[in-house]
């Protein structure tokens, strides 16, 4: 009986624990429901935007995936941050959320992710570190979508959508 009680309490504690920490700004953002959440989110620094996006994507039903747009709109300005996030995790949900931002960038024309070999290699590497076959499969689907979505409208004109600085270095080094 004690063993069952311990297991139930452990399960409940693990369910109540925060998946992604929420700062004061994050709690304040979610304390008020607004129809212009994405516009409001644009006013925050990228670290806070990311925190708010992750909370909305991971802890809410339905997931607040539209909150990826303000990060995606940063274009090249968000690439280094997202690349760091991909390199620092093996959590399938985190990798998936970052790949969703990259897919949004690609589809919206804010950054030509499909042409950034270094970023795609970081994404593929993050995907291989994911242990859950469900999340790994979803991550591979995001990467495939990014690679095949080479739209002619991606001219680099939106939000500094040109290649990231390390991508230029990589291309010149291999030439």
Cβ neighbours for 110, distance < 8 A, ≥ 6 positions apart: 72, 73, 74, 75, 104, 158, 159, 161
162 three-state secondary structure? coil
Which residues, including other chains, have CB under 8 Å from residue 113's CB and lie 6 or more apart? 102, 103, 105, 106, 119, 120, 146
Has residue 122 got a pLDDT over 70? yes
Q: Is the peptide bond before 86 cis (omega within 30 degrees of 0)?
A: no
* Structural domain spans, the chain: 20-68, 73-175
Query: Which stretch of 12-26, 72-86, 137-151, 157-171 has the lowest confidence by average pLDDT?
Result: 157-171
Q: What is the pLDDT of residue 164?
A: 43
Does the model's pTM come out above 0.75? no
- Residue linked to tokens 């700062």: 23
In our burial notation (b when 16+ CB lie closer than 10 A, e otherwise), range 49-76 reads bbbbbbbbbbeeeeebeebbbbbbbbbb
Kindly report, residue by residue over 64-116, the tens digit of the pLDDT: 888 899 999 999 999 999 999 999 998 999 999 999 999 999 999 999 999 99
pLDDT bucket at 141, cuts 50 / 70 / 90? very high
CA gap 53, 47 in Å, rounded: 10
């Amino acid at each position: 009986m004690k063993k069952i009680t311990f297991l139930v309490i452990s399960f409940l504690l693990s369910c109540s624990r925060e998946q992604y920490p929420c700062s004061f700004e994050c709690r304040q953002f979610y304390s008020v429901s607004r129809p212009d959440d994405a516009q409001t989110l644009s006013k925050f620094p990228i670290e806070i935007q990311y925190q708010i996006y992750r909370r909305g994507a991971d802890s809410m039903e339905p997931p607040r995936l539209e909150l990826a747009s303000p990060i995606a709109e940063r274009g090249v300005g968000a690439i280094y941050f997202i690349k760091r996030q991909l390199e620092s995790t093996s959590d399938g949900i985190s990798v998936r959320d970052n790949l969703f931002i990259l897919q949004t960038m690609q589809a919206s024309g804010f950054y030509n992710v499909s042409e950034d070999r270094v970023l795609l290699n970081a994404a593929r590497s993050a995907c291989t570190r994911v242990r859950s076959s469900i999340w790994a499969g979803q991550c591979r689907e995001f990467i495939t979508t990014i690679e095949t979505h080479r739209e002619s409208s991606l001219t680099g004109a939106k939000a500094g959508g040109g290649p990231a600085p390390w991508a230029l270095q990589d291309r010149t080094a291999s030439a």
